[in-house]
Structure 1
């Protein structure tokens, strides 16, 4: 494959499985493709992961790597490399610094897209960075007013009205303006990738409220958002009861489901595409794709972590890099 994009891969929490899945994924690619990537983080952490996994990769500073070597954008953490498998503020600080540097590369056009390995929210907060995860941190770093989480897989895609908030908070956020913005973000993203998505909006209440028996939010807030979106030419229907809409989408009726809250969208995706689904941030001024799994401290350091999800994230990132952002803004 010809070089198509410079993909900046952040190391994630250095105490987790991120370094291991990165080296496994890069080792599985042809040597001639490795020049498309720069890993943002720590060469020491990557070398440790290489010893654990036995991938036999070679690392060099970004800008000085030769054919077959992995370029590393070194980011100092002013502390010894954190112990594997342990939550620590040092690891949390490192993860934030890696992401910050990757955002700098993307905003200065030195990277076309960011791929992020998993971070640990507890470690990040212990380090004094109080964000709800990657999405909140990236919005903070880029100055984005809002962002949207898309979970993408081969047969099912979900975009979320809200993510890392309480269920009570999610209900409060499921208002017409936010639901409409979520529909539009998903619509623009699929246009960018070359297709007009068939979108379904999942209901908030059981049976979409059953004409007010189980709540009025679906009729009061969700249905108007759908009507406004349709008036703008978007192919969207709903709200549709959440207990059927995901199965219908999986079987080909829809290309994208708008989920009202975190678990509503995550559970079906992780059921049908646990190893291959990827997390895509929409609404940011930069492009970012992530693996859809955590730091897995229980197996970190064992070499057991599977890298299929990282490969999926890399493939999706390349696809985004080949599609001009202007298409998403049209």
Structure 2
């Protein structure tokens, strides 16, 4: 999750233009489940909510089910999950990138897509997001309310949030005691803020799990969540298309992907030129945030059955314009 107009928070009004993209036809050769059970790392009896625990357990709805036989896969994430499933099923490598133990396999995958930053930077950036985005969140609340209401209508009880950051979205969908949330973020310093946000939203901490992970290698099994949430996160992932493939992989049939992302301005405009010039600086000061990505097109072409996508302009947000937001259906 990235600060939209780093490092200064936004104090703008938002105007809305509606788009009517054509529904996209989902490919029938989507990922098949490599396992017949959901393998989700769950922290056990954590005494310190703001610290990562390395003791985990797996939720197995049916212990009698055996993994399905499939063709070989060279994907590092799938290989690791399957290897873990056929081993002891007692641990999973979800912890800070600085850890040095047997969990290094998954840590290496995370670091491949998100090289670890200095501790001081991660702490500082988490503090910045917690302290200087309140005005922005207040301004976009009406638009987030529109798209997040879909989760309650769909009765989405198991939700994955990409780049959960400090947890500003939890208040929109996590007030129901039946909701279970897995939030992933490459910055482990976000956890204490996200847990505080979960508590404020009314979500029992027993229903919330924070994982140090990245969107390109989501550590959840196929078709394991009802919904995926991602706001201001695709601007900073290393591989947008791979992340969207992972989103589709973990979504159950009929699931939804709810998103808000800032995208590149119209090609040929001075704003687009300015974004290209400032892009390297933005990536440095805003934790990898890119200004010139065509994220709306990536989502529309990702293979969802249909995509509802709208565009919002921030009237005084200088070079961070416009935003796309909407819902993609599995």
| Larger Rg over CA atoms | 1
Q: State TM-score, norm by structure 1.
A: 0.29
Q: State TM-score, norm by structure 2.
A: 0.29
Bigger helix share: 1
